[in-house]
Amino acid sequence: MNNTDLQARKNKVIARGQGNVYPVYVESAQNAEIWDVEGNRYIDFGTGIAVCNTGHSHPKVVAAVKAQVEKFSHTCVMVNPYEVAVELAEKLTELAPGESPKKAIFVTTGAEAVENCVKIARAHTGRRGVIAFNGGFHGRTNLTMALTGKITPYKHQFGPFAGDIFHAPFPIEQHGISVKESLKAVANLFKVDIAPSDVAAIIVEPIQGEGGFYSAPAEFLQGLRKICDDNGIILIADEIQTGFGRTGKMFNIEYSGVEPDLITMAKGIAGGFPLSAVVGKSEIMDSPLPGGLGGTYGGSPVACAAALSVLEVIEEENLVQRANEIGAIFNEKLTQLQQTFPGLILDVRNKGAMIAIELVTEGDSEKPNTVLTQAIIAHAAEYGLVLLACGFYGNVIRFLPALTASDAIVEEGLEKFANLFKSVCE
């Protein structure tokens, strides 16, 4: 079987809305490398969209999953619970930023975690409104689409959406949106669209994921914390893509010194097994009545066992610090490429191993180079790379390497990327 035949089979039976970036079908993967059904090797700079922070098939994760499956695979944590879920909740509530006592719930996807945050915030405050930000991404369910601040492809054709959702600009220095202007826009919502006494929550990504890897300045997050404190609003940190060591902290919001009321966790939590969580201040988390939160598969014992082993690997292999080391290598090499192509690469940015370059025309931030971005993604597989794009205009290449990747693999991948970039620009 080859990639072409598999893609043809896929196109016949899987709806086009669930598309795939590459017609490359995986046969096996180990740490930071993937091999397809034709035996081709790829360096994975996407890690399943920041999921395999501990690399593909880490031996410790594999062993934990096998051991759990041999015991049992499912009973539903809401029917007959199990120790691995309790132990994981204990660890996550200890790791979550801030000193307040905390509790957790488990669900299955990032979108579910976001939806449950909104439910918890509404139950606690008795209010209806939620404020999100332009360019933010929070999921593909109906409520999370409403929160997401980008139309195509996430919201196009899918309305009407849940009501009482409001958006404000996200501060992006590269595009002339200051922290002051963004906070003023939030305040303006209180004058124009919804009274602060009707707002249940403000949700923010400390670094926008799909929006282009723009980092929220500390003073912005601190400003949101003050707005929430002054008005009895719940502050939700969406750390689905930024969590579990990815940015050189266990959670990115730690850079700001802000303690959120609720925090979403998913992606890197369980080494590829479907699991997500909401962790928050105990008095807020306990607001919904029993049975109001959860789901059949939420807190799968297999996924919880995987997540416990992921936390062990992060600690034992010092992956939080490793993220900073990897980020430094990327920053150095990509900055060199920027110096060669100053009119095409507007910016090289990273927090730990959450890295991006923004592509433009003539060095102009107002001229996003989507065509070049698409060309790079289209040809990446030919150079043995897995890459992802993002950004409000689709003009950002993002890099999400495994935190377990060796220097040699990282540097090999970056050399391949430089060659790819130069070939596409010729």
What are the boundaries of each domain within the chain?
Answer: 3-54+317-425, 61-316
Q: What confidence score (pLDDT) does residue 25 get?
A: 95
Residue 208: phi, psi to the nearest 5? -65, 130
Average pLDDT, the chain: 96
The pLDDT-based confidence of 1 (bands split at 50, 70, 90) is: confident
> Which tens digit of pLDDT belongs to each residue from 304-351?
999 999 999 999 999 999 999 999 999 999 999 999 999 999 999 999
Q: What confidence score (pLDDT) does residue 152 get?
A: 81
Query: Is the model's pLDDT at 154 over the cut of 90?
Result: no
Query: Is the model's pLDDT at 369 over the cut of 90?
Result: yes
Mean pLDDT of 147-162: 86
Query: Is the model's pLDDT at 16 over the cut of 80?
Result: yes
3-state secondary structure of 104: strand
Q: What confidence score (pLDDT) does residue 100 get?
A: 97
> Which tens digit of pLDDT belongs to each residue from 71-85?
999 999 999 999 999
Mean pLDDT of 162-168: 95
> Which tens digit of pLDDT belongs to each residue from 213-237?
999 999 999 999 999 999 999 999 9
* Residues 6+ away with beta carbon under 8 Å from 362: 343
Mean pLDDT of 184-192: 97
Percent of the chain with pLDDT over 90: 96
Mean pLDDT of 148-161: 85
- Are 331 and 348 contacting, i.e. CB atoms less than 8 angstroms apart? yes
Give the tokens for residue 344. 């095409």
- Domain 3-54+317-425: top CATH class: alpha beta
C-alpha–C-alpha distance, residues 339 and 90, integer Å: 47
Mean pLDDT of 114-135: 98
SS (H, E, C) 215-252: ECCHHHHHHHHHHHHHHCCEEEEECCCCCCCCCCCCCH
More confident residue, 1 or 72: 72
Name the CATH topology of 61-316: Aspartate Aminotransferase; domain 2 (3.40.640)
Residue found under tokens 């196109």: 11
Q: What confidence score (pLDDT) does residue 158 get?
A: 83
Mean pLDDT of 38-43: 97
- Are 91 and 126 contacting, i.e. CB atoms less than 8 angstroms apart? no
Start-to-end CA distance of the chain, whole Å, equals 34
Query: Is the model's pLDDT at 426 over the cut of 80?
Result: no
Mean pLDDT of 42-58: 98
Q: What is the pTM of this model?
A: 0.96
CA proximity to 222, closest of 240, 242, 204: 204
* Residues 6+ away with beta carbon under 8 Å from 322: 245, 353, 403, 404
Angle subtended at Cα 328 by Cα 22 and Cα 133, rounded to the nearest 5 degrees: 65
> Which tens digit of pLDDT belongs to each residue from 256-271?
999 999 999 999 999 9
The pLDDT-based confidence of 159 (bands split at 50, 70, 90) is: confident
C-alpha–C-alpha distance, residues 100 and 231, integer Å: 19
Query: Is the model's pLDDT at 2 over the cut of 80?
Result: yes
Residue 160, preceding peptide bond in cis (omega within 30° of 0): yes
